[in-house]
Amino acid sequence: MKKNTWIFPVAYLLASVPGSEVALAVIPPLNVGTWNVHPRSIGGQAPRDRIRAAATFGANHGQAILAFQEVPLTLLGNAAQLALTYNGTSYVALTMSAEYPNPSVAANTSPSGYLILYNPNVVTVAVGPQFFVPGEFHQLSFYQARPPVRVIFNVVNQNAQVAFFSWHNEAGSMAADQVVNLQHALSNHHPGMSWIFTGDFNAQVNPNGGAMADLIHSINNNQGGPSNWLGHNQGIDFILSSGQVTDNATANADANAQGLRSDGRHLSLFGTISL
């Protein structure tokens, strides 16, 4: 199946907001990737096989951070098996073995969680994985929805930090509402700090408007400038940032050739971030 990857023709630039947690600083470009690997075997390939292929690919293509969504809890809970997925690379693993902050609630059960691989020669951990303002993410005003996971990284040899997010949004009719909630969360709880947001949004960008288009406008204060988001044509997986996002065309083409796809809608995505 042919896959086209490009930066959509909408360009905006985030304006700095006073009151940031860490002063904005010049940060070298960071190569990052995201992929919803799907928690089940597809075409005879298990999720651990897909993660192993992506980790090797990422290491060979100079990726500083790789974010994986819908990683099965059976893999996240098996340290030895998980380590095999990135063995032979420089990556270090961070995990969140839940998609909800209160997984004991019957409505919030999920067989999946998050995996983030990072290269410690490029970034180190300042604050480990935490759910990002889960109270902002809700269904019908009272059911908990899936919030993003946030990690704050130190950039090696730089007096700078960057917040990195990974998200598996709710699906179907609930997806757009959670994109709206994300817009509020970023606006109200994360001003100023340089950030990178990756994941499966379960929503497409409609050039005529809608939740995703509104999100892109809002994080840029409607100002023109370099493009700060990346997605596949008619895709639902994205990389957004407070800085400039450039299509890592070589990595995306190579990933397509190597078949880094889980189910039909989820393709790996690689971008270069200039903060």
What is the C-alpha to C-alpha distance for residues 36 and 264, in angstroms, rounded to an integer? 11
DSSP lists the bridge partners of residue 151 as 164
**14 located within any domain:** no
> How many independent structural domains does the chain possess?
1
Residue 19 maps to a domain: no
Q: Please tell me the predicted confidence (pLDDT) of residue 51.
A: 97
Mean pLDDT score, 242-268: 90
In-domain check, residue 231: yes
Q: Categorize the per-residue pLDDT at 48 as very low, low, confident or very high, splitting at 50, 70 and 90.
A: very high
Neighbouring C-beta atoms of residue 224, cutoff 10 Å = 9
What span, in angstroms and rounded, lies between the C-alpha atoms of 87 and 270?
Answer: 21
- Per-state percent for the chain, helix, strand, coil, to nearest 5: 25, 30, 45
Q: What does the DSSP assignment read for 18-83?
A: SS-SS-------EEEEEEE--SS-BTTB-HHHHHHHHHHHHHHTT-SEEEEEEEEHHHHT-HHHHH
Residue 148 in this model has a pLDDT that exceeds 80: yes
Residue 47 resides in a domain: yes
Position 103 in a domain: yes
CATH of the domain at 48: 3.60.10.10
| pLDDT single digits (tens) 5-38 | 333 333 332 333 334 444 455 688 999 999 999 9
Burial class (CB within 10 angstroms; exposed 0-12, middle 13-18, buried 19+) of 240: buried
123 in a structural domain:
yes
Domain limits at 189? 30-274
Pick from 230, 235, 240, 228: which is nearest to 267 by CA?
Answer: 235
Kindly report, residue by residue over 75-133, the tens digit of the pLDDT. 999 999 999 999 999 999 999 999 999 866 656 678 899 999 999 999 999 999 999 99
pTM: 0.88
Q: Does the pLDDT value for residue 275 go beyond 60?
A: yes
Cβ 157 vs Cβ 189: under 8 Å: no
Report if residue 11 sits inside a domain.
no
**What is the pLDDT, as a whole number, of residue 271?**
97
At residue 165, the 3 state secondary structure works out as strand
DSSP bridge pairs for 195: 163
pLDDT digits (tens, 9 = 90+) for 182-233: 999 998 887 568 999 999 999 998 878 899 999 988 876 645 556 889 998 8
Residue 4, domain member (yes or no): no
Give the C-alpha separation, 217 to 209, whole Å. 10
Q: What was the pLDDT predicted at 35?
A: 97
